[in-house]
Amino acid sequence: MTDTALATNDVVLTDRAAKRVSRILSKEPDGTVLRISVAGGGCSGFQYEYNLVQEKPAGDDIVLQKGDAVVLIDSMSLEFLGGAEIDFVDDLIGQSFQIKNPNAVASCGCGTSFAV
């Protein structure tokens, strides 16, 4: 990892990702959080979904919190995300959240879909 990161249940939220989540949430109503989940679909079999939601953590959610950034991940998605690093990248190609997932054996070019 290239910068300080927060780890919970083997999922890591980098400082860059936390800053971006904080910026996004600051423009949303109070109580809004970012939910990251894994769903079937995409060009490689599974895809990451990012949703701004107004909900409290469910009993089986893990909560990644750093400053004002709050990210929820459900237990089913955690099975696919164990050991992953959630980062935010701003480069010449564009800005995006990127998940470096050690469980993925293949991924598509856009980085939002993967195979296990």
- Give me the average pLDDT of each 10-residue run along the chain (116 residues): 54 96 97 94 80 95 95 93 92 87 68 56
Distance CA 15, CA 3 (A): 7
Q: Say how many domains are in the chain.
A: 1
Per-residue confidence (pLDDT) for residue 2, from 0 to 100: 45
Domain span at residue 17? 5-115
Pick from 96, 93, 113, 95: nearest CA to 104:
113
CATH at residue 77 = 2.60.300.12
What pTM does this model have? 0.82
